[in-house]
Amino acid sequence: MFKISTIITAVLIFITGNCLANPINVIDFIGENEGVQESYNFQQAGVSLTVQAWVTNVNTEKETLQPWSQLVGDYGVYKGSTGLGVISNDEDGSDLDGGRSSETDDLDEGLLFSFSEQVNFLGFVAGSLSDNDDVNLAIVNFISPTQLILTDVFVDIGSSFESDIFEVFPGIIGRHFMVWVDGNDDDVRIIDTAFIKVPEPTTLSLFSLVLIFFNIRRTK
């Protein structure tokens, strides 16, 4: 029994160490100016991240006047030297910016982060911030390829710094996340984002079995 317990203890330590040792992965959006595309794709630690631009219209009471829709064609995600923004019409700037709810051609803009697998999303860094800027983060669930539902993580969070970390420690598990703004004065760039890979189900199952084994032995 001593040898078996020793082996299981070693396995438990090994699994726990691997679960806790999953590194934080950061995807940096700063680089050369690459202009506007419907989407941008990034790779990190074997995980793919697709970033798309979506727009909506929300009033000051947080009522949705227009459902979310993806920007396509000549409009979409803007990748500049200071990070990601959105261009949603011919007169729009290249920052991620909010609109006026009374003007249907000046919409609230969002960047949809879609990972190729479930991750533990830790947050993002926003730049070009000023005292009047605030940002929103939501978990996204798709009803269909063109319809989505947002569950707020935080709303209207600002900063007194030019660039700042908007973190959700210890993280949130999911695949799709929306970073967006809804104030007419909001205009920011998204500099990077961070995530941790979620351990494989087999590893978690083995870990659970070992814990159950020890609990059974403790009660005997």
Does this model's pTM top 0.75? My answer is yes
201 pLDDT band, cuts 50/70/90, is: low
Q: Count the Cβ atoms, other than its own, within 10 Å of residue 99.
A: 24
Between residues 139 and 105, which one has the greater pLDDT? 139
Report residue 104's pLDDT band, with 50, 70 and 90 as the boundaries: confident
User: Domains of the chain: which residue ranges?
Assistant: 1-22+199-220, 23-198
63 to each of 56, 66, 77, how far by Cα in Å? 11, 9, 25
Average of per-residue pLDDT across 143-166: 94
If one looks up domain 23-198 in CATH, what number appears?
2.60.120
Across 57-71, 110-124, 165-179, least confident range: 57-71
Whether residue 136 is predicted with pLDDT greater than 80 in this model: the reply is: yes
Say what the pLDDT of residue 199 is.
82
* Residue 203 DSSP symbol: H
pLDDT at 61: 82
CB of 41 within 8 A of CB of 49? yes
DSSP string, 91-136: T--SSEE---TT-TTS-EEEEEEEEEEEEEEEEEEEES--TT-EEE
